[in-house]
Every structure is written in C-alpha cells, then in structure tokens.
Amino acid sequence: MQRTSFEAMNCSVAQCLEVVGEWWSMLIIRDAFLGVRRFDDFQARLGISRNILNQRLNGLVEHGVLTRVPYQEHPPRSEYRLTDKGRDLWSVLTSMRQWGDRWAAPNGAPVEVVHTACGHVSSAVSVCSECGETLDARAVHAIAGPGAREEDFERTSVAHGSFEAQPRPRRRAAPAKIGRARR
C-alpha cells in the first residue's frame, strides 16, 4: 500500500510524520537511544527485513535524524548515530513510551528511565516554559502561529473566531545571565 505524503501540508505534526511516521522508523530511533548502532544489531533486535531496514536507515540519514559513521574500511562498514535533530525526538519517543506503559503494558513498563543527576526512576512531565505549571490537553488552547495560513484552521475551533483578531500572547524576555564571562 502506498503511503500518503504530508509534504505539502502546513503542519508541524504532519512534517514530523513525513520523516518518522512510519512505524519501523520510530523503533529504529528507539533502539538508537538504547545504544544500538550497527545494521546487524538493528536487524536482529527488530526482526525487520534487511531491505526495509536499509530503506528506513537511508531515509533517516537523508532527513538528518541519523548520521553514518564509518568504523571499518575492509569491508566498508558504518554505524548509525543520532544527530541533534534525532536526539530532539527523545521527548516524542518518551511520550509514546509513557502512553504505552499506561495503556498497553498490563504487566508494567518494559523499560524505565533513570534521571542520571538524581538516580531516580523518572517520568517526563510537560511544563509551561513561562510559569512552570504542568501542561495537559485541558490546560492549553491553540492559536495561529507565525507560520499559519487561514486555511490551516478550517473546521477547527480556532477558525470559529476571527483569524486576524486573535491576540498573540507575549513571551517573557529571557533571563539575564548572572556572573562574569570567562576568558
């Protein structure tokens, strides 16, 4: 079955799915976070066919999520490492894992994460970058962002008001750094 492309859609979620929305891709990224680096190790852990794995790895490299790093010349072999763009998917993967732990793991979480700084098993919690209050779906609402077009909000609750009339909340200025600069 041919997958629909979201490339033309003006939506950050759709653009993320364009890169990592295929199920094998997120499992490859999960394993990369678990320290898997080599093709044969991805293949053995996932049970994925070599040609599909090759396609997914190549796609993740092309989109800048993974990078190939040679580790052997004869025969040529490379390992795959997360880039900054790939590491930015940690919160997405963590949200998926925590949802799965809650709703699809009747025997308990198969993997837990330990916060290195304090040594405790931890859960990621979304908080407001401005006030620190915990965020969930009931604590926020959507407004048109700077890249929005009016047609992006057809048939949504955002479209019920005047698109232009929505006030842009102000962001607080970044706190000044305290201390002296090092030389």
> How far is it, in rounded angstroms, from Cα 21 to Cα 1?
15
Q: Among 45, 64, 87, give the residue marking a domain's end.
A: 87
pLDDT in tens, 27-78: 999 999 999 999 999 999 999 999 999 999 999 999 999 999 999 999 999 9
For 117, the domain range is: 91-160
Q: What domain count does the chain have?
A: 2
48 and 101 in a single domain? The answer is no
71 and 101 in a single domain? The answer is no
pLDDT at 153 over 50: yes
79 and 110 in a single domain? The answer is no
101 and 143 in a single domain? The answer is yes
Sign of the CA dihedral with 109 first, then 115, 116, and 120 last? negative
18 in a domain, yes or no? yes
The count of other CB atoms within 10 Å of the CB of residue 97 is 20
> How far is it, in rounded angstroms, from Cα 33 to Cα 37?
9
DSSP letters, 9-21, are ---HHHHHHHHH-
136 in a domain, yes or no? yes
Q: Could you tell me where the beta strands, DSSP code E, fall in the chain?
A: 66-72, 77-82, 113-114, 121-122
111 in a domain, yes or no? yes
What is the pLDDT at residue 180? 42
175 in a domain, yes or no? no
Q: pTM for the full model?
A: 0.81
